[in-house]
Chain A
């Protein structure tokens, strides 16, 4: 009888001490996590206005206005992928825009460091809004080419297409069938892939697009957005 009692006592004591030790450890750990938090709040300054003006085709005023909007949203000067996805998704509430936002993020994040700085942002916009048609087509090609190897494969195109259809959401007319993206990709490749090698190169892409009136017309669409 005293044996089992003492065993109860010892087990209770050990559990109590374990709890106390855990408590102390938690307090110690808390200090280190704080410092991690501090490191991530790095501020990034863009290059000077003159440099940006030289690099892009925006006027000074336009750059100023763009930066003000950018800085207002991202005071730290950097946009990470999650924030980017959140912002972009707000424009498409009925569908899921995260996948497409991911591709878009990669298209803007030229140096692939996981965050878009203002200079990346403004360079991308400069191409899209003030660039020549060829530059715009190049940008679009860059967007579709997920692994940036210079070729668009059917799989890459299918991913892009699926992400675009995802943004539509469920309620469409006619409703999006499961093979709608695939069919669309087939049509795209029929049009673009000249030599039927299963991939689309940049030259094929630009050549085909320049021959298509609709595409050329729609490229001019967003000239005066800013």
Chain B
């Protein structure tokens, strides 16, 4: 509908004749329509595929490339058509946008390519119609996540620059154990101790045979109390040291302390310390026993070591609403069926359904199809409702479970893809590096040849030595690189030479002396040795494309206002919001002299009124 609003404007203006007889003041002069609608064809040649459309179709959206004078840059005089060296398949959708006013996103296209085309033609992605918007946004999000993953990986795989503080080094070691052997050792040691601690908790409770002076069995924990205590102490010491080190190393201590893992760490070691502090009297021993239960939370410390566990946790978090729904519906069903069963079984003698809360247990056991059999209905009515209860239990539980499962599967596959990409990355980068080396080798050869040729030329004085048979593009490129070298007074070298140089320089640096050759570029020293692969984000939309629709100012003026003057000299850049009080603009109107049909005023207002309506249609 938006595009059409502009098409109906002539109609609205014509209908304004209806106000003329009742108007009490004379009408303003209409703007001169200088550009009489040359309703001709425009031929758009996109990489050979010719598209034809009416000129007015394109001009519906004057803030895009095709609708504005920007397209004149692409005009090809010999064939009198507009030539664009872009993808014709995607262009089809863009042209359809002009025709129908709706932008669609084709599912088979790559999201980055599509976004680039949109950016080129000056179309905001937010205009994508409702039918395709969801798909588009999902793909965008996936792409952004992928890029973020790659960036994170990049940052992680960087060789550590030398000038990290000890604190940062420690943090890196903790977060990414693969960076150094020490970190790896620490990682495995903590893992081992977590396992030991958990197993000790478990084994403690196993009956270990009887003591000589007692008749009943004691658990292993009581029998070998000292041993277990020593083991517990050792584990807790390791955990405490680890926690304190992490706390010291954390770049943001508050954030670290609020994070889930740190909370788990604290909960894992607190019971021990509380137990130490507390004395062994009866009042608090009950609480002490409860505290011991918290020791089992140490098993959650494994989530740092296992990605799968993290995925599970993340899934549950992201499915919170489905889980909540499951819980809510189950609770509703439990209450309903428990009530029914209670009243159904009220009559029978010696029934276990003594109260509705007592019936809860039966309902839960039945709905989850466990069926312990400790509570069974005896009356016929009870049995009927009991069977309905078990049938509905299956349904209620089966409904949200696939949602949770599909969520888990999606997240799991995403992490799998991340792993795959990481593995593929290495081979990809190796191949790319090989290609680059070929290029630099070609450049080296060019330079050598050039020097040779120069030398020969000098000697032989313009000898007829032909230039090396490289294509003109390459030779120009090489010349460019050469110029760059001369400019920066540095030279391009190949990798082996570079590594060799780095070794020398690092040796020199370690010895603490700065030779004169290095002093020329001290900063270049550190950058020389660090292979910073700053990957340029090729997926960078200009920020204007991401502006929210709300920021598109609706430059609307009351066209119907009979007192308004269409040729009022209003500044074009003043955005008039619709809900703004019109006190200020109308002041301007009244003070502005009623302009005669001066050309410049009318052209200004022509374009203004045109842009006026166009803003509406851009929505």
B5 touches A92 (CB 8 A): no
- Closest A residue to B32 by CB, please name it: A224
**Binding-face segment, A20-28, A36-44, A167-175:** A167-175
Secondary structure type dominating chain A contacts: helix
Q: How large is the interface on A (under 10, 10 to 19, 20 to 34, 35 or more residues)?
A: 35 or more
B18 touches A87 (CB 8 A): no
B20 touches A219 (CB 8 A): yes
B582 touches A173 (CB 8 A): yes
B14 touches A69 (CB 8 A): no
Q: B1 in the interface, Cβ–Cβ < 8 Å?
A: yes
A173 touches B583 (CB 8 A): yes
Q: A221 in the interface, Cβ–Cβ < 8 Å?
A: yes
Secondary structure type dominating chain B contacts: helix
Would you give the shortest CB distance from B20 to chain A, in whole angstroms? Answer: 4
Q: A45 in the interface, Cβ–Cβ < 8 Å?
A: no
B559 touches A218 (CB 8 A): no
Contact with B along A198-226 (1 / 0, CB 8 A): 00000001000100001101110110111
Neighbouring B residues of A110 by C-beta, 8 Å: none
Q: B556 in the interface, Cβ–Cβ < 8 Å?
A: yes
A95 touches B17 (CB 8 A): no
Neighbouring A residues of B616 by C-beta, 8 Å: 90-91, 93
Neighbouring A residues of B3 by C-beta, 8 Å: 72
CA–CA, A144 and B586, complex, Å: 29
**Contact of A94 (CB < 8 Å), options: B7, B13, B578, B583:** B578
**Contact of B559 (CB < 8 Å), options: A91, A143, A164, A215:** A91
A167 touches B4 (CB 8 A): no
A61 touches B39 (CB 8 A): yes
Q: A85 in the interface, Cβ–Cβ < 8 Å?
A: no
Contact with B along A1-22 (1 / 0, CB 8 A): 1100100110000000000000
Q: B513 in the interface, Cβ–Cβ < 8 Å?
A: no
Q: B19 in the interface, Cβ–Cβ < 8 Å?
A: yes
A215 touches B10 (CB 8 A): no
A91 touches B560 (CB 8 A): yes
List which B27-49 residues lie within 8 A (CB) of chain A.
Answer: 27, 29-30, 33, 37, 39
Q: B466 in the interface, Cβ–Cβ < 8 Å?
A: no
A90 touches B5 (CB 8 A): yes
Neighbouring B residues of A78 by C-beta, 8 Å: none
List which B538-571 residues lie within 8 A (CB) of chain A.
Answer: 554, 556, 558-561
Given contacts A187-B24, A218-B23, A218-B26, contact A92 B560 (CB under 8 A): yes
Q: A119 in the interface, Cβ–Cβ < 8 Å?
A: no
Neighbouring A residues of B4 by C-beta, 8 Å: 69, 72-73, 87
CA–CA, A115 and B160, complex, Å: 75
**Contact of B558 (CB < 8 Å), options: A8, A94, A161:** A94
Neighbouring B residues of A91 by C-beta, 8 Å: 5, 8-9, 12, 559-560, 616
Q: B182 in the interface, Cβ–Cβ < 8 Å?
A: no
B347 touches A87 (CB 8 A): no
Would you give the shortest CB distance from B11 to chain A, in whole angstroms? Answer: 7
B30 touches A222 (CB 8 A): yes
B17 touches A219 (CB 8 A): yes
B554 touches A92 (CB 8 A): no
Neighbouring B residues of A129 by C-beta, 8 Å: 14
Q: B344 in the interface, Cβ–Cβ < 8 Å?
A: yes
Closest A-B pairs by Cβ, 9 of them: A69-B7, A73-B4, A218-B27, A128-B14, A173-B586, A218-B20, A214-B26, A225-B10, A143-B18
Q: Measuring CB to CB, which residues of chain A are less than 8 angstroms from any residue of chain B?
A: 1-2, 5, 8-9, 61, 65, 68-70, 72-73, 86-88, 90-95, 97, 104, 107, 121, 124-125, 128-129, 136-137, 139-140, 143-144, 157, 160-161, 164, 167-169, 171-173, 184, 187-188, 205, 209, 214-215, 217-219, 221-222, 224-226
